[in-house]
């Protein structure tokens, strides 16, 4: 989902957002620093496999996935980190690792960390390593309908 397609989707749903350009950065912490956004408000998307099915775990940049907790809260028998080769073809229009957390547009479950759901606003990669979208968490929740669960730690 390139930036234009994402913006069109948000516009068609009458969502207010801000596009933030930043210098090229690849890790969530680098992106947060480059864009001057607190790590707790930058939502990173971690691709996981739950019983072999791709899903998105969305959490603050300053947090890490607790795979045992994710397994417990989702009821999956097997949870593992997906490798780039597992998902790069799902998002061919995005830079690898820069897909926005809109798994609903790809028929994919989205799990949002409870800590992220506490934020007024969140920002996330918009399909490239140089642009973010910032919007109200409630709007993200309305569009994506993520399952909000506890699966991360600082």
Domains with residue ranges and CATH for the chain: 3-153 (3.90.960.10)
CB-neighbour burial class of residue 84 (10 A; exposed 0-12, middle 13-18, buried 19+): exposed
CA distance 90 to 75: 24
Residue 24, CA distances (Å) to 21, 105, 130, 147 in order: 9, 26, 5, 31
Query: Model-level pTM?
Result: 0.94
Over its length of 154 residues, how does the chain's per-residue pLDDT go in tens digits? Answer: 557 888 999 999 999 999 998 889 888 888 888 888 988 899 999 999 999 999 999 999 989 999 999 999 999 999 999 999 999 899 888 998 899 999 998 899 999 999 999 999 999 999 999 999 999 999 999 999 999 999 999 8
Which pairing describes strands 79-81 and 42-50: parallel, antiparallel, or unpaired?
antiparallel
CA distance 31 to 148: 24
């Amino acid at each position: 989902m390139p930036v234009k397609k994402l913006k069109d989707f948000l516009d068609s749903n009458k969502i207010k957002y801000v596009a933030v350009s930043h210098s090229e950065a690849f890790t969530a912490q680098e992106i947060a620093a480059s864009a001057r956004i607190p790590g707790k408000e930058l939502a990173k998307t971690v691709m996981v496999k739950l019983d072999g099915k791709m899903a998105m775990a969305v959490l603050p940049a300053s947090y890490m996935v607790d795979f045992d907790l994710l397994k417990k809260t989702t009821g999956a028998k097997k949870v593992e980190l997906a490798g780039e080769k597992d998902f790069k073809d799902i998002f061919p229009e995005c830079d690898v690792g820069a897909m926005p957390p809109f798994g609903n547009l790809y028929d994919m479950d989205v799990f949002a960390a409870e800590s992220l759901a506490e934020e007024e606003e969140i920002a996330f990669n918009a399909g490239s390593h140089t642009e973010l979208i910032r919007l109200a968490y409630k709007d993200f929740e309305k569009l994506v309908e993520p399952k909000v669960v506890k699966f991360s730690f600082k």
